[in-house]
Amino acid sequence: MKALIPTGDPAEPVVLADVAEPTPRSNEALVKVEAFSVNRGETFKLENFTPGERPGKDVAGLMVQSAADGSGPSGIARVIGHPMSGGWAEYVAVPTNALAELPDSVSALQGATLPLAGLTALRLLRTAGPVLGRRVLLTGASGGVGHFVTELAAAAGAQVTAVTRDAERGGRLTELGAADIVHDVADARGPYDIVLESTGGQALPLALARLAKRGTLIWFGQASRTSVTLDFFDFFAGPESAVIRHFHYLDADTRLDDDLAALVRLTAENRLNPEIGRVSDWADTATTLNDLRERRIRGKAVLTLTATTPERP
Torsion sign over Cα 172, 126, 228, 208: positive
Q: What is the pLDDT of residues 141-176, one digit of tens each?
A: 999 999 999 999 999 999 999 999 877 778 899 999
- Mean pLDDT to the nearest integer, 194-201: 94
Q: Is the pLDDT of residue 238 over 90?
A: no
As a whole number of angstroms, the distance between CA 217 and CA 197 comes to 7
Judge whether residue 189 has pLDDT over 80: yes
* Residue 138 pLDDT greater than 90, yes or no: yes
Q: Give the pLDDT band (50/70/90) at residue 74.
A: confident
Residue 108 has pLDDT above 50, yes or no: yes
Helix intervals (H) in the chain: 40-45, 108-113, 115-128, 144-155, 167-175, 203-208, 257-268, 285-293
Query: What is the model's pLDDT at position 309?
Result: 46
- Measured CA to CA, the distance from residue 219 to residue 216 in angstroms comes to 10
Amino acid at 87: G
**Proportion of the chain above pLDDT 70, given as a percent:** 97
Average pLDDT estimate for 64-72:
96
Residue 312 identity (one-letter amino acid): R
pLDDT mean across residues, the chain: 93
The closest of 206, 276, 302, 286 to 43, measured between CA atoms, is 286
Q: Position 305: which residue type?
A: L
pLDDT band at 313 (very low <50, low <70, confident <90, very high): very low
Determine the Cα–Cα distance for residues 32 and 272; give it in Å rounded to an integer: 25
Phi and psi (nearest 5°) for 127? Answer: -65, -35
Q: What is the pTM of this model?
A: 0.94
Confidence of residue 265 (pLDDT cuts 50, 70, 90): very high
Over residues 273-304, the pLDDT tens digits come to: 999 999 999 999 999 999 999 989 999 999 99
Q: How far apart are the first and last CA of the chain?
A: 12
Q: Which residues contact 83 (CB under 8 A, 6 or more apart)?
A: 56, 57, 59, 92, 93, 94, 95, 98
DSSP string, 50-98: PTT-----EEEEEEEE--TTS-S--SSEEEEE--SS--SBSEEEEEGGG
- Would you identify the CATH topology of the domain 2-114+274-304? Quinone Oxidoreductase; Chain A, domain 1 (3.90.180)
User: Where does the pLDDT of residue 51 fall: very low under 50, low under 70, confident under 90, or very high at 90 and above?
Assistant: confident
CATH class of the region 118-246: alpha beta
DSSP conformational letter for 302: E
**Helix or strand or coil: residue 279?**
strand
Asked whether the beta carbons of 197 and 162 are under 8 A apart, the reply is no
Domain extents for the chain? 2-114+274-304, 118-246
Q: How many other C-beta atoms lie within 10 A of the C-beta of residue 126?
A: 12
CA distance 306 to 313: 18
Within 10 A of 88 (CB to CB), how many other CB atoms are there? Answer: 27
